[in-house]
Each structure stands twice: as structure tokens, then as C-alpha cells.
Structure 1
Amino acid sequence: MNSSDLSDGDLEDLYENAPCGYLSLGPDGRIVRVNATLCTWLGRSPDTLIGTRLRDLLNVAGRIFYETHFAPLLRIQGFFEEVALDLVKIDGGTLPVLANASERKVSDDLVFTRVTLFRAPQRRRHERELVELRNAEQETRRRLEELNAGLHTRINDAAELQVLSVRDAELREQFIAVLGHDLRNPLAGLAGGTNILKQIHSDAKSVRVLRLMAESINRMNGLIDNLMDLARGRLGSGITIQRTSGVRLEPTLAQVVNELRAGHPDRSIEMRLNLSQPVDVDHARIAQMFSNLLGNAITHGAEDRPVVVDAGIENGQFQLSIANGGEPIPQGALNRLFQPFYRGEVRSNMQGLGLGLYIASQIALAHGGRISVTSDTTETKFTFSMPII
């Protein structure tokens, strides 16, 4: 079934009773249409919403952020995506939602805005849990530091110190296990529900909504992977690798390039591989590192210049470089590129925690190698080097 097979009544029912809230804003920013789903969520009738402004539906904090951040962003670029807002219901309670908005120009002077709202109580709960986990980790580290400071002044028995070290390591590994388990399970449920809905709903609007949901789930999975690697690097024994002997590296590198080409069909990626022998590496980790570096080059490089990938073996060293054109990286930023949570100067539509380059550097260290960076007006190049074992 496609949209042409639906009657006017079907389309109206799809709009009114969609699994998400819809509203339209007129040129003056006031609501001109709202669907039944959103009215039900808020416990209000359409007549009480028509003519009000979107900010009137928000709590105090939401109004401030909307007026100072999201409304200017909408005026500048004509859309915003996955903005977290709290709507106020008729009973005074709040409804956490994720909002997506886009403008539709009717003429040079008339601009209407379409807003789609998705319920997001689970995401907010996960965000709160992340904050609580971070605070708990900081408190645990503080207590461990106080305990270690006191113990080192009183304990001289090496055997007892070894026992405490083992317990410390077990606590850290338990923290990492809990972090991965508690964050991944809710996402797995969301992914399963999305797959079921894909089999039920095949109309264009539902397919688009489900695709957006799947993309958000994939992004959250990627963020959790990065957080897990950060936790292993900072709390555990570091990022571990399992080298594979005698396996060619070219297919692994080519797969990463093909995946990013599919995601960025408008960008040119040139690949030059000159490997005279297999390289003993952890292929999954090298693919992760290469994907982070290549994605970084695509994101920050000039769109009219190709991204060039070179891989080869020289003087007993395996070298993998990724170069892109564009503005050079300032010296101050170069000194901080591999620090966790550092993102430098990025465009407002870029998303991420700023962990990609940090994790890439940790994977390089785990292989006994390092990543170096050069940047000038000609090109910016990241080069991974490691000795051949």
C-alpha cells in the first residue's frame, strides 16, 4: 500500500491518531492545527490549543531554552531535530517529548512550521541514570582514593595490598558490566518494538517515523559503545585486543570505506592500499579506529575535496593515514584532540560525545602504536603507525 491507495478519511485518521503528536504553527508562531494524539496526551481539546504558541505548552525552563536556543536555530536553518522538551499537561504534570520541526514556505512572506513530537520518558530516565552513574562513579573514586591514602600509610604487608588491589579491580569491572547491561537492555526493547512496527505499518509516514526511531536507537548504541570503551580505558584494565595472525587487512579497511560511502554518497573517498603482507591486528578494533578517523575526516573536511586513505608497510611499520582538505586545525585544538569529550569547533547539527578520537588513540596504544596529526592549509592528515610483529 502507498499513499495513493489511502482515502481522504484514511489520511485524516492517520494524522489524527498517529503514534506521535503533530502540530502546525502559522507565520505568527501560533498553533493552527493539532492532532488528537497530542490533545489526548495533554488532556486538552483542540479548541484550547488553537491560537496558542508552542512555548505556552512548555514549563518555565523549557520556555527559556526554547526562546534562547531552539527558536533562533529554527529561524536560522529552517529546522531542528530531537530537541528535548517538557510539555505541561492539563493536570499540571509534565510530559517529556522529543521534538522535530521544519519550516514550509508558502510564499516569500508566509512560513508555516510543522512540529512532530514523540513521547520520551524512557530517554529521560536513561539520561538521569547516566548522571546518577557518573555521580556514583565519582563518589566511588573519591572513596577509593581516601581509602588508598589511608591504607598506604598503615599497611606494609604486600599480600594484603594485593588482596585490596584485586577487590578494587573487581569493583571496577562490576561497574562496567552494570553500565553496559542497564543501558543496553532498554534500547534492545525499543529496537525490537520498532522491528515489529515495521512489519505492521508500511505507509510512507510510518516508514519515515520508524526510520528516524531506528536511527536514534543506532546512535544511542554507538554512544553506549563509546561510553563502555571510555569506562574500560579509565576504570578497567584498558581497551583489550585480540590479534589475528595471517589474515589480510584490506577487506576490513574496504568494508569500513564502503559503509561510510553508503552513509555519505555525496562525498568522494579515495583508497590506496599497498600492503605486501598480512598485519597481525585485532580486525574489529582496527575497523572501529579507522571508522572513527574516517568519519571525522568526512565530518570536518571540505565537501568539495576527496578524503584520501593510504595504507602501507614501510621500514617495519604499518601505517594507515586519512587526509582531508579544508581549514587547518588551530594549534590549541591540536593539543586537545585526543582528550575525551573534546569536540572543538563543530556545527550545530553534529552529534556525539567527543569520544571518537580518544577511543581511536586508545586502540592505537593497545596495538603498541600511536596516532599523529598534521594540519595546514593544504590538508589535515591523521596517521596511525604501529610496528609489525
Structure 2
Amino acid sequence: MPMRIEPLPALDADLLWQQAACGLLVTDDAGVITRANSTFARWLGYDQEQLLGRPLHTLLTMAGRIFHQTHWAPLLHVQGSISEVKLELLHSAGQRIPMMLNAIRRQHHGVMIQELSLFVAEDRHRYERELINARLLAEERLEHQLMIEQVLNETQQELREAHAQAERRAELAERMVGIVSHDLRNPLSAIRMAADLLQRNETDERQALERHARMVSHIGNSVDRAQRLITDLLDFTLIQVGRGLPVTLAPLDLHELVANTVEELRLTFPGRELHHERHGAGGFLGDADRLYQLLGNLVANAMAYGDSNGTVTVSTRFDPHSVILSVHNVGEPLPEQAQVHLFEPMTRGHQDDGRHNLGLGLFIVREIARAHQGDVAVISTADMGTTFVVRCPRSPEHGG
């Protein structure tokens, strides 16, 4: 049998108005309070009589007054109602009370009135603050996480690059060990062979002297080859570790320096034609030892890969802004594909002619030229032969 529900006794409308769970106000169309319930008066710390006749905007904060005048009061007049407007009202003691406002504008007995209901929004306000703080914390943590990921990615990239560089250096070291062991073996073997021949007894004193002279010459040439190889290797090591190729610039007579170097190189390459041509005159700031090394590498390259019966020509030339040093030889031209990487380390001119070198000579030439603020280029054709041209400014600003 269904339960019988007794009807509730009639409720007092004025009591409902006074003790409602929200603040209730009535204002005239100008916003002056004409009625306020006890709930609203208690929330703001006033007696109800103190609120009557008081403009509503005087209970708002300064920001609330501006918002009232520019936004929700005009909007209420235009559309007749507003809902869930957030604002702050001032307690009689001065503290701010966050509230939510709903309002209706209507006509009552021929007079326009405004009926407002307000709810304390402290819990909602606290929730919004916590929500904002949580969002800011989440954004901060996300930013921190992204920063960590970026650092991790950068670190991984650095590790990959370091690993690749280590592999390249290990490969380069392995290649260098193989090449150096081969290239040093040649002059050392020649020195040993010459020493063995010098120990032989000769009955003919004249033949013995001639043989001794030839062997001493071979030993000297082999020592020069080994010394060039070791010098290039040391310079290459300095460049690889990032110290650069050191130069000491000083005024010098380039024509005279090259002429003296050519005279010494003629002793290194007996039986080969080596000429020096000079054009123009002028001063030059350079490192004499490095320029001697540069020219020695270029001439050794021309002797090794040019026509063995041809002439190697060294030229020094001054123009208004540059100093030009060139080495020319006749013979088979360099393949175009070989010219692209000719000045890179570990690059050889020929692989199958039995003449080997460490592959650093032309690389060192380029680095010496750059240390003098210049550079080197090659021109190689069947008709004109091969010419290496080093061009530097007449007064380099600084060394490497």
C-alpha cells in the first residue's frame, strides 16, 4: 500500500524572502536599493535599513564599479536580464566578498525595477584559484619536462657527434698508422741499403769513392723524405687537435727566400731541372720556415707526379695587392674528380704508380697559405701541364 504523504503547511512568503539561501535585492531603474533581504544584509555586515536608498554601485569595488557602468548595467537595460556575472562586493569592515549575480529588469505597476539575486562565490573563487594554480603548475612542469627533453636530445646529439668523431679519428689513426709504416719504410730501407753498400770492400779506390758519393746522396735524400713526412704529420696533428698551424710573420724578401730554397731543393733532386722565375718586387710579411715547407711540399709533389724528364718551374710574382707563388710541371694532368679533394688530408695523387706519400703534403700547403690569409688552387690540363698557385695578400693581417 503506497505511503501517504501529508501536505506541508503553507510557507510565509516574506519569511522565504528574508531567509533565502541567496541575497535578494530590488532596485529602481537607476540602481538605488529599495529592498534587501536579511541574508544579503548579513553577508555584507549591514542592517537592512542601512542599505535602503543606497546606490548598488557604492557596495562594489572600484573595478566592480567600472564593470557595472561599462558592461552589465547597459547589458541589463538592453536584453532585460543577465546571469552569472562575477563581481566583488565590499563588506562593511572593508574585506572583499566574491559573488555571482543574476538580474532581471521588468516593469512592476508601471515602474521599471531590477530584481537581483546574489550568491557568495568564495568556494567557487577558491576552486578557480586552485584551478589556475594547478594549470600554472602543470604548465611549469610541462615546460620543465620539455626543457629536460630538449637537454636530453641535445646531449644525445652531442654523444652521437662525439661517437661519430671518435670513429672518424679512430679510422683516420688506423689509416695513418698503415700509411706511415709504409711510407717511412721506403726511406729507411733506402738508408739501410746504402749503408750496406758502403760497408763493401772495393779494390778500385776510384769506384769506391764514386759509390760512396752516390750512397751518401741517397742517404741524404731518404733522410729529407722522412723528415718531410714527420714534419707534415706533426703539423697535421696540431691542426686536428684544434691548435691550428702556428706562423710567425716578419718582413722578408720573397724572391730571395724562394731562390735559396730552390738551390737547396736542387740538391735534394739531383738530375732534375728546377728553375726559378721572378716578376715584380715588393715587401711581404711571412713566416720564412713555413714558406720553405710550403715550397718544398709543392716541388716534391711536382717531382713525384710530373714528367721525370720535364722541367719544374717555380715562379714568384708581385701584383698591386697580392703575392703569388706557383709551381709548374709538365706531364699527365690530374683527373678532374681528383682535383676536388686534392687538398684534403689522406689524399694521394696516384695509387698505382708505386710512389706513395702520407697524403698530407698538399693539405699542409693549403693550411700554410691560409695562415698567411691566402689560399691555393690547381690548374691541370694536358696542354699546359699542372700548376699549383698560392695567392696571399701582400700584408696579412694576422697569422694562424
TM-score by length of 2: 0.44
Q: Which has the larger radius of gyration?
A: 2
